[in-house]
A and B are shown apart, each in its own frame.
Chain A
């Protein structure tokens, strides 16, 4: 059974803190993604990675960075958390055989509150 796990379900941080969100997949997928989900806005892509140490900006990368040192792990970093980064963060992974036609598999999400 495919599995994408995220390090925390709920997280509370203070403004200015550095925040790490971890995602691990056990499917040997090449692609991994970080989205944020906000009411009325759907899912917006922050960053994605198509291979170890490779990354590309998504639609809303400002204020975020990512790290992918191992194929199974993709980290999202909030360098200095701000209240407008309060959101639900979803990680996903997919194979890369046919590009965007591949199914993405999602983790359960991390609900982050920045005070």
Chain B
């Protein structure tokens, strides 16, 4: 079945550092890919998404490109802030199925 694998955390960075969180997937067909973020004490919220190969999703300085050839959707940000400290989830949704498949989450800790 469909699955998502993302790098284990925590990822610890200093403010203004470059961020990459790796995400790869296994799926049949042409899934949509998502990054969700969970701030402390809150539920998940959509950060960005891409619905087809070579699409780039972007929001709040974060970017991820849907790479079908490498089955990847890595999350990047050029300069992280303390307020970016959160847990990031990569997810996959396939046409015809209502549910999303989530990765295990990666905790990001940004220090001043």
- Which A residues form the contact surface with B (CB < 8 A)? 4, 31, 33, 40-43, 45, 48, 50, 58, 90, 92, 94, 96, 98-109
Pick the contact of B94: A100, A103, A106, A109 (CB < 8 A).
A100
B104 in contact with A100 (CB, 8 Å): no
- The segment out of B12-20, B44-52, B65-73, B75-83 that lies at the interface is B44-52
Chain B residues near A107 (CB-CB < 8 A): 43
**Total number of A-B contacts with CB less than 8 angstroms?**
66
Interface residues on B, range: 20 to 34
A101 in contact with B98 (CB, 8 Å): no
- State in angstroms the CA–CA spacing of A18 and B44 once bound together: 27
B4 smallest CB distance to A (angstroms): 8
Chain B residues near A99 (CB-CB < 8 A): 93-98
Q: Which one of B42, B43, B45, B96 has the greatest number of beta carbons of chain A within 10 Å?
A: B43
Residues of B4-48 contacting chain A, CB below 8 A = 31-32, 34, 36, 41-46
Contacts A100-B31, A100-B94; is A90 near B43 (CB within 8 Å)? yes
